[in-house]
């Protein structure tokens, strides 16, 4: 759903976004844990997004990967053009937004079950591998908390979505500062495939999420991680949790680099509304298909970031 007047109004509101204290979720104290699960339940049900604080991804690891990404985007264009492919099955893909409307450069890499990364700049691959391992651990814990928030056992989503062989990919996005861009759009409004999207960035600002028909600015403290519910959690829960509609505005004083991890089911998992979320009054509201089919059906949107969710609603 792209708003027709989207190009004309980019302002967002500064409302409070739900905040999850990760140290409570993984605490040995059952009371703190259940508080965090309640917070997750509220955030997923009423918002579809939240920020995470007190997580276990070290600042040095975050800084390392962000620094290497700046170096990647600063490489000569010839080096990046190697990954300029139209085939969505390619596991490393680079591209630039339509310069008439959108200011964005990106690279997409599949990191699981097999790890892919450009060899240049030196150190990118090591940083990304370390970062993805840490972020994935956190994502699996969050999905455990979300399983519990749904009244199910901790490993429900992990087992059902076969996450031991889950297909995860990163997109790194590079947006110019506002004064270096004629365009105001980094990405049009969209939702994304996968279960959860976990985003780090060098600087806050630019990302907006829709809530109750309003665009909210995602204002984060420097070491917070932002999380969106994505399409496959909406499908699995038969629409109880909604995939968060979000967009990116180019309004920062400085150049902004972001790194979302799309934590997904295994490619062969058929994702359909689970029986726990369907009954006579709530028949399955989405067409089931494998994650691989969805990514392909998504018209190569593994790369474009758009989603085909609207087309599979029954």
Ligand X SMILES: O=C(O)CCC(=O)C(=O)O
User: What is the closest distance, in whole angstroms, from the C-beta atom of residue 202 to ligand X in the complex?
Assistant: 11
Residue placing its CB nearer to ligand X in the complex, 24 or 62: 62
In whole angstroms, give the CA distance from residue 3 to residue 189: 8
Cβ atoms within 10 Å, residue 272: 15
User: What is the closest distance, in whole angstroms, from the C-beta atom of residue 199 to Fe ion in the complex?
Assistant: 8
> From Fe ion, ligand X, none, which one binds at residue 244 (CB under 5 to 8 Å depending on kind)?
none
> From ligand X, Fe ion, none, which one binds at residue 194 (CB under 5 to 8 Å depending on kind)?
none
User: What is the closest distance, in whole angstroms, from the C-beta atom of residue 261 to ligand X in the complex?
Assistant: 10
Size of the site for ligand X (CB under 6 A): 12
User: Does the protein bind Fe ion through residue 234 (CB under 5 A)?
Assistant: no
Stretch in the footprint of ligand X (CB under 6 A) among 134-142, 157-165, 199-207, 290-298: 199-207
Residue placing its CB nearer to ligand X in the complex, 176 or 305: 305
User: What is the closest distance, in whole angstroms, from the C-beta atom of residue 89 to ligand X in the complex?
Assistant: 19
**Alpha-carbon distances of 138 from 36, 146, 219, rounded to whole Å:** 14, 12, 21
In whole angstroms, give the CA distance from residue 165 to residue 192: 20
User: Does the protein bind ligand X through residue 260 (CB under 6 A)?
Assistant: yes
What's the sign of the alpha-carbon dihedral 170, 260, 191, 180?
Answer: negative
Residue 276 has which token pair? 């726990």
Stretch in the footprint of Fe ion (CB under 5 A) among 27-35, 151-159, 189-197, 263-271: 189-197
Strand partners, 262: 169, 197
User: Does the protein bind ligand X through residue 187 (CB under 6 A)?
Assistant: yes
> From Fe ion, ligand X, none, which one binds at residue 207 (CB under 5 to 8 Å depending on kind)?
ligand X
CA nearest to 107, candidates 119, 115, 96, 122:
96
User: Does the protein bind ligand X through residue 183 (CB under 6 A)?
Assistant: no
Q: Of the candidates 171, 183, 217, 252, which one interacts with ligand X according to CB under 6 A? A: 171
* Cβ(277)–Cβ(240) below 8 Å: yes
User: What is the closest distance, in whole angstroms, from the C-beta atom of residue 152 to ligand X in the complex?
Assistant: 27
In whole angstroms, give the CA distance from residue 49 to residue 34: 19
What's the sign of the alpha-carbon dihedral 74, 79, 85, 88?
Answer: negative
Q: Of the candidates 39, 105, 168, 192, which one interacts with Fe ion according to CB under 5 A? A: 192
By CB neighbour count within 10 A (0-12 exposed, 13-18 middle, 19+ buried), where does 180 fall? exposed
* Cβ(135)–Cβ(77) below 8 Å: no
User: What is the closest distance, in whole angstroms, from the C-beta atom of residue 277 to ligand X in the complex?
Assistant: 25
Residue 275's SS3 state is: helix
> From Fe ion, ligand X, none, which one binds at residue 210 (CB under 5 to 8 Å depending on kind)?
none
Size of the site for Fe ion (CB under 5 A): 2
* Cβ(232)–Cβ(272) below 8 Å: no
User: What is the closest distance, in whole angstroms, from the C-beta atom of residue 190 to ligand X in the complex?
Assistant: 7
User: Does the protein bind ligand X through residue 231 (CB under 6 A)?
Assistant: no
By CB neighbour count within 10 A (0-12 exposed, 13-18 middle, 19+ buried), where does 76 fall? exposed
Sites of contact with ligand X (CB under 6 A): 171, 173, 187, 192, 199, 206-207, 246, 248, 258, 260, 305
- Residues near Fe ion, by CB under 5 A: 192, 305
């Amino acid at each position: 759903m792209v708003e027709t007047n989207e190009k004309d109004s980019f302002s967002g509101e500064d409302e409070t976004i739900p905040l999850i204290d990760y140290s409570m979720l993984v605490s040995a104290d059952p009371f703190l844990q259940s508080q965090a699960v309640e917070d997750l339940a509220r955030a997923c049900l009423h918002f579809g997004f939240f920020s995470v604080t007190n997580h276990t991804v070290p600042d040095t690891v975050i800084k390392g990967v962000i620094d290497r990404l700046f170096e990647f985007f600063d490489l000569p264009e010839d080096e990046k053009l190697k990954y300029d492919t139209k085939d969505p099955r390619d596991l490393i893909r680079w591209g630039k937004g339509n310069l008439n409307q959108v200011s964005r450069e990106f690279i997409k890499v599949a990191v699981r079950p097999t790890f892919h990364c450009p060899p240049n700049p030196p150190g990118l691959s090591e940083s990304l591998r370390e970062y993805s391992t840490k972020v994935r651990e956190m994502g699996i814990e969050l999905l455990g908390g979300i399983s519990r928030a749904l009244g199910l056992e901790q490993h429900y989503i992990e087992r059902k979505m076969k996450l031991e062989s889950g297909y995860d990919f990163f997109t790194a996005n590079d947006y110019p500062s506002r004064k270096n861009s004629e365009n105001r759009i980094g990405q049009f409004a969209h939702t994304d495939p996968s279960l959860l999207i976990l985003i780090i960035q060098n600087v806050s600002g630019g990302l907006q999420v829709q809530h109750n028909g309003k665009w909210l600015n995602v204002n984060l403290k420097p070491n917070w991680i932002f999380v969106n519910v994505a399409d496959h959690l909406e499908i699995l829960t038969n629409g109880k949790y909604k995939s968060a509609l979000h967009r990116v505005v180019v309004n920062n004083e400085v150049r902004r680099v972001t790194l979302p991890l799309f934590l997904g089911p295994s490619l062969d998992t058929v994702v359909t509304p689970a029986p726990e979320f369907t009954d006579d009054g709530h028949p399955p509201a989405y067409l089931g298909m494998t994650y691989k089919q969805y990514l392909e059906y998504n018209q190569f949107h593994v790369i474009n970031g758009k989603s085909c969710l609207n087309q599979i609603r029954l």
